[in-house]
Amino acid sequence: MKKITSLFKIKYPIIQGGMIWASGWKLASAVSNAGGLGIIGAGSMNPETIIKHISKCKKATSKPFGVNVPLLYPEMDQVMKILIDQQISIVFTSAGNPNTWTLKLKNAGCKVVHVVSSVKFAIKAEKAGVDAIVAEGFEAGGHNGREETTTMVLIPLIKKAVKIPLIAAGGICSGESMAAAICLGADGVQVGSRFVVTEEASSHINFKKAVISADQGSTILTLKELTPVRMIKNKFYKEILNIYSKGASPELLTEHLGKGRAKKGMFEGDLDQGELEIGQVASQINEIKPASEIIEGMINEFNKVLSIISLYKL
């Protein structure tokens, strides 16, 4: 775990995921102030908004924080220029080719972390020169891999395939699951869904409440013909199912998906027609809390699990 805390100069190896429509400066600075690594999720921000959030985050914390950029972002050159100009020291990239930007960011003094869901892309990212990898399992919310590999299986596979520090994501929302990830070979954890249901997340209150109401089986990985995404099975999902029952073509799915579904659901709170991206751990989330309490709670649980399990030697 030292590998991750040293790399980012943070107290705890807990990284907040850069969930779109949730991870603005408020959440990122709260996580960083509590000893984790806060991340601004740039995927749902236009360039001006990114600058605004970076500026506010710098004022709200003196601790390190990062920015997450999906590499399919439309104004990529502009965003990367912003990150470099603003001297962002930690950049998480996802959903794209790690070769395109890693070297440029590293030359500008950034630590670069790439998010993957397969061994193949983990190796590719390591070769591209990234400083660490986030490996995200099937249970994670939002966009996800086609192999459907769960965190339990993915982490040992990737641990064996690469040498750089490894951050586990998917299914992690407690000290217990954090300890499990460390046992599997991770050096740290990325927590997404749990931080959506915080006071500081910019997610709509309706969405936060929908996550609290979610049970086992409330989420599903769907739209595999386009980009697989885990979301709550709401009215919009039932409409997708209806398209499937008629033999879903990618064209029909794309048409029904349209634009702005994620914003509509997660930021504007339209629980029927919006896309509500969240992980399977939604079933374990029962309360809106400040981000600092989540981190404190995880650390306490983690230490408790370690005390107990150390008695279990066989």
Strands 229-232 and 188-191: unpaired
The contact pattern for a second copy, residues 200-219, with x = CB under 8 A and - = no contact, is ---------------xxx--
Strands 65-70 and 90-94: parallel
Least separation in angstroms between CB 77 and a second copy: 33
224-283: which residues touch a second copy (CB under 8 A)?
Answer: 245-247, 280-281, 283
Q: Is 123 in the site for a second copy (CB under 8 A)?
A: no
Q: How far apart are the C-alpha atoms of 235 and 247, rounded to whole Å?
A: 19
- How crowded is residue 129: how many other Cβ atoms within 10 Å of its Cβ? 15
Q: How far apart are the C-alpha atoms of 1 and 7, rounded to whole Å?
A: 10
Q: Is 20 in the site for a second copy (CB under 8 A)?
A: no
Interacting span for a second copy (CB under 8 A) from 19-27, 57-65, 75-83, 116-124? 116-124
Q: Is 157 in the site for a second copy (CB under 8 A)?
A: yes
Q: Is 223 in the site for a second copy (CB under 8 A)?
A: no
Q: Is 182 in the site for a second copy (CB under 8 A)?
A: yes
Contact (CB, 8 A) for 135 and 167: yes
Among 149, 190, 202, 203, binds a second copy (CB under 8 A): 149
Least separation in angstroms between CB 150 and a second copy: 4
Contact (CB, 8 A) for 262 and 138: no
Rg (CA), the chain: 18
Beta partners for residue 232, in sequence order: 219
Q: Is 183 in the site for a second copy (CB under 8 A)?
A: yes
Q: Is 103 in the site for a second copy (CB under 8 A)?
A: no
Among 119, 123, 253, 257, binds a second copy (CB under 8 A): 119
Q: Is 163 in the site for a second copy (CB under 8 A)?
A: no
Task: For a second copy, give the closer residue by CB, 105 or 191.
Answer: 191
Q: Is 176 in the site for a second copy (CB under 8 A)?
A: yes
Task: For a second copy, give the closer residue by CB, 14 or 82.
Answer: 14
Interacting span for a second copy (CB under 8 A) from 62-70, 101-109, 180-188, 235-243? 180-188
Q: Helix 76-85 vs helix 47-60: angle between axes, to the nearest 10 degrees?
A: 20
Angle CA 47–133–208, to nearest 5: 60
Contact (CB, 8 A) for 118 and 205: no
Task: Find the DSSP H helices in the chain.
Answer: 2-8, 25-33, 47-60, 76-85, 102-107, 119-127, 151-161, 175-184, 193-196, 205-213, 235-245, 250-257, 261-262, 291-309
Task: For a second copy, give the closer residue by CB, 60 or 167.
Answer: 167
Among 221, 240, 262, 276, binds a second copy (CB under 8 A): 221
Among 146, 226, 227, 250, binds a second copy (CB under 8 A): 146
Q: Is 185 in the site for a second copy (CB under 8 A)?
A: yes
SS3 content of the chain, % helix, strand, coil (to 5): 45, 15, 40
Residues that bind a second copy (CB under 8 A): 1, 12, 118-120, 137-139, 146-154, 156-157, 170-172, 174, 176-177, 179-185, 215-217, 220-221, 245-247, 280-281, 283-284, 299, 302-303, 305-307, 309-310, 312-314
